Amino acid sequence: MGRQELLLLSAVTPVVLFAVVTIPTDIRHALSSHRPLIWLVSAVVYAALVARGRFPLGTVAVAVIGSVVLMADGTAYPPTLPAVFYVLYSVALGAGPGRTLAVGVTVKATLLCTSLITHPGITGFVILLWAALAVTSGSASQSHRGHVAEAEKRARHAEQSREEEANRRVTEERLRIARELHDAVGHHVALISVQAGALACTLDDEDLSQARESLAHIQRASGEALEELRLTVGLLREPGAAEPTEPVPGLDQLEELIRSFADVGLRVTREVIGQVRPAPEAVESTAYRVIQESLTNTRKHAGCGTAVVRLTYAPGALGLAVEDDGAPVARSGRPTPADPAPGGHGIVGMRERVAALGGVLSAGPRPGGGYRVLAELPLRAARIEGS
């Protein structure tokens, strides 16, 4: 406690003690005098307190006028003073700062002037001190209520924000899992479907060597699909796993991906423009998944045996293109002018992956025939996200 606070406390304490001892004594003396005016005015003032909620200013006026009347009648500390202090507290508790100041100053000036005229001395200053204490207590209580209400509001807002953030994270995780299952498992299942169709044809032709080869491809693709599914389900079951623990596919596995399509009859040509250099893991993984989904759609729906994968290494971005010469028919997730509302999720998943890195993706028929998927992945945004 500072020096000024100590001086103020030492000055106020005697006045408060004097008021605590003197005011109740004077009030008891006034009530025991059996003067009808004291009882009548006190009854009117305390009865008016019932209407303080609807008419606060009127209640203040009645209490002050009653106190002035009794002080003029000779009572230094009239029994209506507690009612005055109470209504001052109520006004300060419910009104704004400007209204509280106006009412408080008016009441305190009225009581002080009346007391100095009727009972010169310290009496007026004691009443003034208690009136000021009532106003200050009401204002402090109002500030405390406002602080508590604001704290509760902030707590509710924080709780709502946490719930919204949790829901957002759950939704993002669901979309991520859906993309992983579609891109990884869906790719292998598509190859299994193609090989099963080829197997049916070879059995009709009684070409057993070709049938054995198709069965080998089916066995390998189904094993890889089961492994992808096992890893994804393992991540979901693992408690507290914040990051994937399985190897993230990248462009270093692109040759293996191209060979897997060659096994099912799709010959893929790889072209590279610019100086090859390592890209952030998120960029390489996204590029791999976009190429994988595009080639899977080509093999399933294009009706052609060739495709081109083109990688462009620019200073601030990695560009990729997947093109084929297939017929412009509706493909899974690949819209055409004749089919503007596709039912698949391939293009949607690719766009979500690319947009998550701040890139852009476009897909549609080529002017000269066939289909093209273009994507541009910024490298700087990926580094910031991964850092």
E strands, the chain, where?
267-273, 306-313, 317-324, 360-365, 371-378
218 contacts 203 by C-beta, under 8 angstroms: no
Beta bridge partners of 362: 374
Mean pLDDT per 10-residue segment, the chain (387 residues): 48 49 55 71 88 85 90 84 88 85 88 87 82 85 86 87 83 72 64 64 62 67 66 57 58 89 86 90 90 86 86 92 76 43 64 89 88 90 49
123 alpha carbon, distance to own chain's centre: 59
83 contacts 45 by C-beta, under 8 angstroms: yes
- Dmax (CA) of the chain: 129
Nearest to 26 by CA among 91, 70, 84, 86: 70
The pLDDT value given to residue 198: 62
Which residue reads 């200050």 in tokens?
A: 136
- Percent of the chain as helix, strand, coil, to the nearest 5: 70, 10, 20
Residue 187: burial class (beta carbons within 10 Å; 0-12, 13-18, 19+): buried
Question: Would you state the torsion angle of the CA atoms of residues 70, 72, 77, 83, taken in this order, to the nearest 10 degrees?
Answer: 40
**Which spans in 95-185 are helix H?**
97-118, 123-180
- Cα separation, 237 vs 242, whole angstroms: 12
- Cα separation, 148 vs 155, whole angstroms: 10
Residues sharing a CB contact under 8 Å with residue 386, sequence separation 6 or more, in sequence order: 280, 281, 282
Q: Give the architecture-level CATH label for domain 267-387.
A: 2-Layer Sandwich (3.30)
Q: Determine how many CB atoms are found less than 10 A away from the CB of residue 166.
A: 10
The DSSP symbol for 368 reads T
Domain ranges of the chain: 3-153, 267-387
HSE-up of 151 (CA within 13 Å, CB side)?
6
The pLDDT value given to residue 3: 53
Cβ contacts of 330-333, under 8 Å, gap ≥ 24: 330/301, 331/297, 331/300, 331/301, 331/302, 331/371, 332/297, 332/300, 332/301, 333/293, 333/297
- Cα separation, 10 vs 33, whole angstroms: 35
**Which spans in 51-122 are helix H?**
56-72, 81-94, 97-118
277 contacts 317 by C-beta, under 8 angstroms: no
